[in-house]
Amino acid sequence: MAKTKGSSKNQQKRGVDFKKIKRKLGRKLPPPKNATNTEIKSKAIVLPEQSVASEKAGLAVSKKGLTLKELLQHTSHHNAKVRKDALLGMKDLFLRYPEELKSHRYAVIEKLRERICDEDKIVREGLFQLLKSSVLPGCKEDNQEPLISLMMAYIFNAMTHLNVDVRLMAFKFFDLVIQYYPPSFSIYSEKILQNYEDILRKNQFYLQDKGKLKNTLSGLARCLSLLPANRRETHLSDKNGRAQETMHSFEPDAPTESSEFLVIAKKLNDILPVLVSCFQEFIPLIHSTPLLDAKSFDCMLSILQSIDLVVRFFVQRVDKSGHEETMWDRGTSSILLKNLLGGFPLNPVQNVSDKDDDRYFILNMAITEIFLHSSKCIFPPAELLNRFLLFIEHALLGQNVSGTHSQKAAREKQILILIPFIPKLLSQLIGDQKSGLLKAFTKRFLECNLESPMKLACLAGIEEMLLFNINDSDLLDFQKTWISKLPMLLLELDDKHPSSSQSVLHLLLRVGQCSLINSELSLEYDKTQNSIMKFYSTCLEDGNISYGPFIKLGRDIQELSVCCLYYFPHLDSLLLKSIAAACIRPELDTFILFRVIEVLHSAYSAGHIDIADYTSFFVTLLSRFKVFPENTCGPMENDAKVPRHGTFKSVTRVVSSCLSQMGDNNLVFMILERVILEQIASNLPIENACALLRMLVELDSSPTKLSEQSIITLSHALSKYLIDVAHTVPEDDEPIGSVRVQKRHYYLLPCFFLFDRSPRLLNLVVNRMGSLIAASHSPLSSDDYIDCANERISRMDAIVSSLLSMYRDPKVQQILSVAKEEIFSISQCICSLLVPFYLQLVQFLDNPRGLDLLCFQLLQSFAFFHNTSSSSQWMDRQMFHGAITVRRRLLVLSL
């Protein structure tokens, strides 16, 4: 426009007044002044919906190249085939692009739900597959409730659809929803149950096809299994016990559940007769046809399961509230009794194959379960009860079982359901019925496989039945049988099935705890000791010990088995022996070792162990305990390197404290004196000897209670022990407080205590050492001269060093000074024997330096004598003479 304006201005300038413009021929006329420019200018041309390839490059498409939007549109297409294809396409799309589903799930569901009522069967089936395979699993993580509520309206609509197929399919859809989102049942329970009831009422019209009926019924069974009562049970069982609950808090009231329950209860009351009549319709079928086809069997089983679930729901309510009238309709119970249970058992008309037999068995079992659940509320007549009892008994005995292994296993699983009911059932029975059932139960318990769940179930049943009235003589015999089998079971289980072992031990413990003192049961429990012994260890004829499963089991189980010991009315000495053997195994956990001592001490205080047995247990423990693993009998530097050493020290301490708590120390001492002395004298490793000495010191008092005879025995043992100590922990010039000095002190301390209490013992020991030196001073044979000399010198060394350490202890010094005369003679002996002896031997030594050290020690000890026994100048002279001689000789040698 602007341009045209400009040109007109130019023309006005040029022309004067009405000047004619000449135009040449063949020329185009210029456009009129008011012409509109129709030209359109653009840089690119966009044409929507033209090129397929370029357009969908970035979008998610199905195999056929359709986007989600298109597919959704197609689902409401009038052509059934297109709808089906669309559903298939979506399945494909979601498989490829799962995130597509995530982002559009509401849109998808909103569109898809319309198809629930689709008239076409294939489309519905397709939808079912689509929901099952991709949509519902895909939406599992996030908030499902809004999604489900979107669908539910359509499902309910479909449930009341005129078309029967649509209706049935709706139940199938609901079943699917329940599987993925169980809470949806409790939200819509009333409506759902109503719908189920309606369709089952008219099943003769709609459900001619057994397959469809089966689907519906299994859906119902699944719904019912979500009933509050049943759900609660599972809920409790998995958070049983160990759950961390808040300590001080009020139990939150659950009004939701009770209100919800009232509605459901009414509906369930209505649905029960329908189910029963549904089941009855199958009865003629059984009687007419010889074979039970798989579909009807499945239907019947589902019906029975549903009935059972409903019954359980009611029974649990009755248990909880105590009054039954409100929920359990009298009419309903009579229907149940007459129509369902009255027809028990279902028997085939003629002989059938194993497989069919199995089917009948399973059905009968299901009815039995219903009976057992409901028996509390419906008060069955005696005749009916008898029939059931007979069946249970047969089932337990495993009669009619003549099938392959797999079938047997299947039956086992069925029978497993029965076991928990047996204790309750037994408590209601008397006489023959009771003993019959008990016999069957016991047989099943004894025969079933070790690791089968049946065994565990039986054990739980036994535990319950042990708490029954004890005056019942029938039961008592069986109880005895069970108890006597338990230790065997424990041994058979070995360490392969720890959880089973644990439950057996737990049961054993319960038996011990619950048997009254001096009752038959406690006697029986006492008898198990003989077999339980093998659980710990057995002494074989050739003197070796074979260890039972105890050592190999876990710590918890070991502790449990130790706890069982407490409840034996009288712990046998043989059992104690086998426990002691197990206790000194190095692989036993220290914790368990201490637990054993602790529990035995408690048992002793409660009067379950003889004092002699108890003390000998300790002596065995202390004398046989191996501080060092086999074949490494060298002295170790400290406790840290030999953890067993530290353990043994604390064992010694614990045993001593147990002994001191035993009561009359005098009596204990009298019992133990001989045994301990025997053990000490019998060449034990020094750790064990030290432990026993400590035990002796703990029991003994000041002045000593040891008899003259035992002092003499002890003096022999002690002199040997002292020499051993000097050998094992040689004395170096180490600072006081170092590990070695401490260790030496630990070994020597009990001896010093003994010396303090009995100076005579000290005298004897010193004497003995003197005589040992004298014995060494015999002429040497020429063959193994040097070896022999070496050995003698090292022994000499040990004697002198142990004497020295005795002198150094201030308390012992005091005692020594009391027995001056004795000491004097001994030192005289030492001087007269030792010095020349050394001089004789010195030339054969490899290492004169060691000797030098010894001489130094000697000098020290002589110096000590010099201080204490100032009586004899002669002595002094002798000593110094000897010492100087030694020195001189050494100098010569070193030169």
Q: Which candidate, 295, 269, 264, 265, places its Cα nearest to that of 282?
A: 295
Q: Which stretch binds another protein (CB under 8 A): 31-39, 83-91, 243-251, 373-381?
A: 243-251
Q: What is the DSSP letter of 552?
A: G
To another protein, the closest distance from the beta carbon of 563 in angstroms equals: 4
C-alpha 318: how far from chain center = 35
The total of other beta-carbon atoms located within 10 Å of residue 385's CB is 17
- What's the token pair of residue 299? 């239907």
Total interface residues for another protein by CB under 8 A: 25
Q: State yes or no: residue 471 binds another protein (CB under 8 A).
A: no
Report the candidate in 582, 491, 593 with the shortest Cα–Cα distance to residue 535. 491
Q: Which is nearer to another protein, 516 or 892 (CB)?
A: 516
Establish if 560 lies at the interface with another protein (CB under 8 A). yes
Q: Which residue among 203, 368, 515, 529 contacts another protein (CB under 8 A)?
A: 515
Angle (CA) 49 52 54, round 5°: 100
Identity of the residue, 194 or 519, whose beta carbon is nearer to another protein in the bound complex: 519
The closest alpha carbon to 388, from 355, 366, 358, belongs to 366
Angle made by CA atoms 824, 826, 831, in degrees to the nearest 5: 95
Question: Among residues 494, 399, 407, 409, which one has the least CA distance to residue 450?
Answer: 494
- Binding of another protein at residue 516 (CB under 8 A)? yes
Pick 204 or 244: Cβ nearer another protein:
244
Nearer residue to another protein within complex by CB, 120 or 598: 598
Tokens 């120390």 identify what position? 665
**Which of 560, 432, 552, 418 shows the shortest CA–CA distance to 491?**
552
Whole-number Cα distances in Å, 693 to 409, 551, 581, 838: 62, 29, 21, 33
Select from 492-500, 561-569, 674-682, 710-718 the region that touches another protein (CB under 8 A).
561-569
- Interface with another protein includes 602 (CB under 8 A)? yes
Say which DSSP state 374 is in.
H
Q: Is 598 in the site for another protein (CB under 8 A)?
A: yes
Among 208, 399, 513, 530, binds another protein (CB under 8 A): 513
Binding positions for another protein, 562-581, rule CB under 8 A: 563, 566-567
Q: Does 590 bind another protein (CB under 8 A)?
A: no
- One character per residue 738-757, x = contact with another protein (rule: CB under 8 A): --------------------
Phi, psi of 682 (to 5 degrees): -95, 40
Choose, by CB under 8 A, the member of 6, 32, 48, 241 that binds another protein.
241
User: Which residue, 551 or 564, is less far from another protein as judged by CB?
Assistant: 564
Does position 509 interact with another protein (CB under 8 A)? The reply is yes
When the beta carbons of 554 and 836 are compared against another protein, the nearer one is 554
Question: How near is the Cβ of 690 to another protein at its closest, in Å?
Answer: 23
| Binders in 247-286 for another protein, by CB under 8 A | 247-248, 251
By the 8 A CB rule, do 141 and 174 touch? no
For residue 153, which of 181, 132, 174 has the smallest C-alpha distance?
Answer: 174
Strands (E) in 41-157, as ranges, are none
Q: Contacting another protein (CB under 8 A), which of 599, 671, 788, 845?
A: 599
Of 302-310, 339-347, 390-398, 507-515: span binding another protein (CB under 8 A): 507-515
Instruction: Report the nearest approach of another protein to the CB of residue 515 (Å).
Output: 7
* Binding range to another protein, per CB under 8 A, among 109-117, 441-449, 592-600, 681-689: 592-600
Mark the segment that binds another protein (CB under 8 A) among 555-563, 670-678, 747-755, 799-807. 555-563
Shortest spacing between CB 554 and another protein, in angstroms: 15
Q: Which stretch binds another protein (CB under 8 A): 41-49, 511-519, 525-533, 684-692?
A: 511-519
Give the residues across from 538 on adjacent strands: 546
**606 scored as a contact of another protein (CB under 8 A):** yes
Nearer to another protein, 515 or 710 (CB): 515
Tell me: does residue 708 bind another protein (CB under 8 A): no
Residues 799 to 858 in contact with another protein, rule: CB under 8 A: none
In the complex, the smallest distance separating the C-beta of residue 642 from another protein, rounded to whole angstroms, is 23
Task: Give the residue with the Cβ less far from another protein, 594 or 807.
Answer: 594
- Sign, CA torsion 705/711/713/716: positive
Tokens of 158: 């479909």
Interaction between residue 421 and another protein (CB under 8 A):
no
Stretch of 175-183, 305-313, 598-606, 632-640 lying at the interface with another protein (CB under 8 A): 598-606
**8 A C-beta contact, residue 331 and residue 351:** no
Q: How far is the CB of 597 from another protein (least distance, A)?
A: 11
Interface residue with another protein among 291, 446, 514, 712 (CB under 8 A) is 514
Q: Is 631 left (phi over 0), alpha (psi -120 to 50) or beta?
A: left
CB 84 within 8 A of CB 126: yes
Contacts of 132 (CB under 8 A, 6+ apart): 176
Q: How far is the CB of 102 from another protein (least distance, A)?
A: 33
Question: Which of 116-124, 237-245, 297-305, 323-331 is the region at the interface with another protein (rule: CB under 8 A)?
Answer: 237-245
From residue 553, give the alpha-carbon distance in Å to each of 178, 497, 587: 44, 9, 11
Tell me how far, at minimum, the Cβ of 627 lies from another protein, in Å.
24
d(CA 20, CA 39): 31
Cα 306 from Cα 224, distance rounded (Å): 7
Q: How far apart are alpha carbons 80 and 84 in whole angstroms?
A: 6
CA nearest neighbour of 613 among 623, 601, 627, 626: 601
Give yes or no for residue 520 binding another protein (CB under 8 A).
Answer: no
Contact positions with another protein (CB under 8 A) in 15-44: none
User: Rounded distance, CA 462 to CA 175, Å?
Assistant: 40
List the structure tokens of 720.
């040997």
Q: To the nearest whole angstrom, how small is the minimum distance from the Cβ of residue 120 to another protein?
A: 54
First to last CA, the chain: 136
> Among candidates 299, 297, 417, which has minimal Cα distance to 357?
297
CB of 377 to another protein, least distance (A): 17
Residues at the interface with another protein (CB under 8 A): 241-242, 244-248, 251, 509-510, 513-517, 559-560, 563, 566-567, 595, 598-599, 602, 606
